[in-house]
Structure 1
Amino acid sequence: MLSRRSFLGGVSAAALAVPALGGLVASPASALAGRRAPAVPLPLTIVNNSGQFDNASITVYIVGTNLDTGEQCRVTPDGELVPVSESDNGSDGFADYSIPLQSSGDTTLDLPSMSGRIYFALGDKLKFKVVTDGDGKPALQYPAGWVESDPNYQVLHDTVEFTLKADGMYCNTTMVDMFSVPLSIHLQGSADQTTGTVPAGGRERILNGVAEHPDFAQLRQDDLRVIAPGHGLDQGLFSDTYYDAYIDEVWTKYQSTQLRVDTDNGKVYTGQVSGDTFNFDGGVQPIGKPSTRDVLFCDGALAAPNDGVTGPVAAILGAGFNRSILLDSPDQPGTDPAGFYQHDITNHYSKVMHENTEDGKAYGFAFDDVAGFASYIQDGAPTSITVTLTPW
């Protein structure tokens, strides 16, 4: 089974390297036998049904990593994958990698094999900057819309994430960092799949829904976006002790109760708390007592190494904390969404995201794919992908 972790630990979009879809591994040869290869380049159709912006007001950016060379690249309007260069920076200090939409109707582009993001900017262009990384190689600085000092703060923008490679297409909408623009993905191939669709009026319900909770109110940045609570914490807009009482309750419960974790590799691990450590059998590394920040970013004590043992257990714990279900059952992961987010201390940001998608799926935190609740789809033989800016 493929492991997919989207931007683990709240990796900042302002980082110098493009984080690939986390933990993606190739399917075994037996699983690929007889399977048609993906269409490469893959036709990408962009549909503007926003009802708020005409095509002339929208620009697209496709940036990421060349899977063969590891170079950071961008896609040109004619579908060429080109390495980024500091010489791309213009007189204003920023690289213009924008791809305009057709003047009317849908826009079709060629998507090459790569791992990265498709950004959409509405009303103004995004400002990317090419710098030199620690190894002396060109690297991109990405928009960090949740940071008021970022040059893209005032620009309405959002993104989808994808990896297109020899064994298929893997893609998702994401709210791990923020939510601003309703986007939907339609992937066709061996199956016909759609995810991420926010019903009409859902954008305002999301912005209002997050802001109406007192602890989360400052996460709304006017009519631009709502930002994830982890980023809010780092910006001084969210309490760094929000989850502490719940974490303490979980730690107390499992000092005298065993937690059973059934991972997607078919193994069940049993753990119990001793002091500040959750100790599991089966070779799982001890997991320390997390902080509120660790829970929100699924990082620190809850970081999930791609080792097939500790990683899956840490991911399930991270999901259990965000969904606030660890006190409800000693058998994890929980699979009934009706039981998620019912505790007073919970990730209300993620809760609102899930409440406002047609399929109930969203990427509200980095481990939201645990038990299959992320707005993520994949296909081993894709023939086309359509990203729609859906009605506001």
Structure 2
Amino acid sequence: MATLNFALVNTTGSNNVYAYITGQAIDNNNALFLLQADGKTAYFPTSPSSTLTALSQDCAIPLGASGSTKTVTIPHIAGGRIWFVRDGKLTFYVNPGPALVEPSSSNPSDPNYNLYWDFCEFTWNSAQLYVNITDVDFVSLPIALALTNTSGVTQTVQGLPPGGLDTICTALRTQNSKDGAGWDKLIISKNGANLRAVSPNTGITLNNSLFKSYYDAYVDQVWSKYASDTLTVNTQAAAGDVTATVSNGKLNFSTGNISYNQPSTADIFSNSSGAFAVSGDSTKDAITARLAAAFNRSTLLTNTKQPNGEVVSNYYQNSVTNHYARICHATTINGRGYAFPYDDVGPSGGTDQSGSVFDGSPKLLTVTVGGLTNAVSENTVSETVPQSSVPPPVPKKPSRLAGLKNVWHKFSHS
């Protein structure tokens, strides 16, 4: 069975950090997979008779003292996650299926809610290893990636610097002082310290009155503009360029009888509800991804061609925009990292924003939790990854990443 090494590096300053690795074992009929505490033994939970059944094996992988590196070995995995927790241990459960009950950042009754934890996501199959950091649901612990292939070339995503969470929380408070929209409500604290900053979509889950009509005026302006102008969307797929104008209250496209009602703020932040719900029509779903990205970045009033013709410096310039995403990108060392589900949308040949690394011939993945303390090595490739080389967006579940074809098993404690 094929295996691959991951090097997990602890730079948190804490000597009490654990990792967990979960996913679906591709070479074992996609069975639910966790790695045991020794970092090399697979654990395949069986279907329990009741919900919220405790794991029968210890899957908390100790990383050792700050500055230490723990090397683990994994098989081919789909829908993988590498979880990190500082100063505690995470609690996972198994439901009938079996289905894994993951830690929740949006359920205050979850046993992990008041812990410092975070994760990155990956899929490793016979074609490639694909890994990304993510702020789609929340941001807490800094995570950085370095993927070295068999030719010795390394790709990196540097992620948040040490103390990045505090920087983000300060910026959210500053933004709220400007517009009073509720950005400070995205900050979750513990004993007066910042625990995490959640995304607007997660924030709405915690408080359904948050951002209730935040985008309404901007959406009205977009609809007014395209009542007389023509919007062109490059699907970056077989349909190529498609055009649309507004009539009878809908944004109507010239192909496939595709149209959109005005999206709500919740639709825009989730990328997957209401007007932006997954349709199963590949052309419409490609358009949806690009519209959702343009609304989050607030570029539809300044550019009639989406996503081509855009540059990163034009993103988030309107006063009504996804300021959480803006702040996350501004805080990461190189500006890369998923901040909303379709953050991997971008102009062909443009700069990738998604914070991913991928290679068909991987040798070692190094994941650093706590923030990078050293400069990038000389053999590291450029951080500017051409957008055309990034796996294209695909329809996905809410608050999950467009570049990964994952099925996540969740259970509500409420």
Per the TM superposition, whether the score is higher than 0.5 is yes
The residue aligned with 1:67 is 26
- Check whether the contact 1:261–1:316 (CA below 8 A) recurs between aligned residues: yes
- Check whether the contact 1:80–1:112 (CA below 8 A) recurs between aligned residues: no
Instruction: Decide which of 220, 224, 234 is 2:187's aligned counterpart.
Output: 220
Identity of aligned residues (%): 33
Distance in structure 2 (CA, Å) of the matches to 1:152 and 1:78: 22
User: What letter is aligned with 2:7?
Assistant: T
The residue aligned with 1:83 is 44
TM-score by length of 1: 0.82
Asked if 1:113 corresponds to 2:91, the answer is no
Instruction: Decide which of 208, 214, 221 is 1:249's aligned counterpart.
Output: 221
Higher mean C-alpha displacement, 239-248 vs 220-229 = 239-248
* 1:356–1:318 Cα change, 3 Å: same
Cα offset, 1:173, TM superposition: 0.3
Cα offset, 1:294, TM superposition: 0.7
The residue aligned with 1:261 is 233
- Check whether the contact 2:303–2:310 (CA below 8 A) recurs between aligned residues: no
Asked if 1:207 corresponds to 2:169, the answer is yes
User: What letter is aligned with 1:287?
Assistant: Y
Distance in structure 1 (CA, Å) of the matches to 2:77 and 2:84: 18
User: What letter is aligned with 2:72?
Assistant: L
1:343 is paired with a residue whose SS is coil
Instruction: Decide which of 179, 183, 190 is 2:139's aligned counterpart.
Output: 179
Runs of 4+ in 1 over 6 A off after TM superposition: none
Cα offset, 1:79, TM superposition: 2.7
Alignment size in residue pairs: 346
Asked if 1:297 corresponds to 2:264, the answer is no
TM-score by length of 2: 0.78
Cα offset, 1:89, TM superposition: 9.8
* 1:264–1:346 Cα change, 3 Å: same
Give unpaired runs (5+ residues) of structure 1.
1-38
Distance in structure 1 (CA, Å) of the matches to 2:283 and 2:255: 8
Instruction: Decide which of 101, 117, 132 is 2:63's aligned counterpart.
Output: 101
The residue aligned with 1:375 is 355
Cα offset, 1:304, TM superposition: 4.5
The residue aligned with 2:399 is none
Cα offset, 1:204, TM superposition: 1.4
The residue aligned with 2:365 is 385
1:250 is paired with a residue whose SS is helix
2:220 is paired with a residue whose SS is helix
Distance in structure 2 (CA, Å) of the matches to 1:245 and 1:297: 18
- Check whether the contact 2:169–2:184 (CA below 8 A) recurs between aligned residues: no
The residue aligned with 1:124 is 88
Give unpaired runs (5+ residues) of structure 2.
347-351, 373-414
2:136 is paired with a residue whose SS is coil
User: What letter is aligned with 1:127?
Assistant: T
* 1:247–1:196 Cα change, 3 Å: farther
Instruction: Decide which of 188, 200, 205 is 1:229's aligned counterpart.
Output: 200
Cα offset, 1:198, TM superposition: 1.8
Could you list the per-position Cα deviations for residues 30-82 of structure 1 after superposition, in whole angstroms to 9, with x for gaps in the alignment?
xxxxxxxxx9411100111122x12xx11111111223523322122343443
Distance in structure 2 (CA, Å) of the matches to 1:128 and 1:363: 24
- Check whether the contact 1:158–1:179 (CA below 8 A) recurs between aligned residues: yes
Asked if 1:327 corresponds to 2:301, the answer is yes
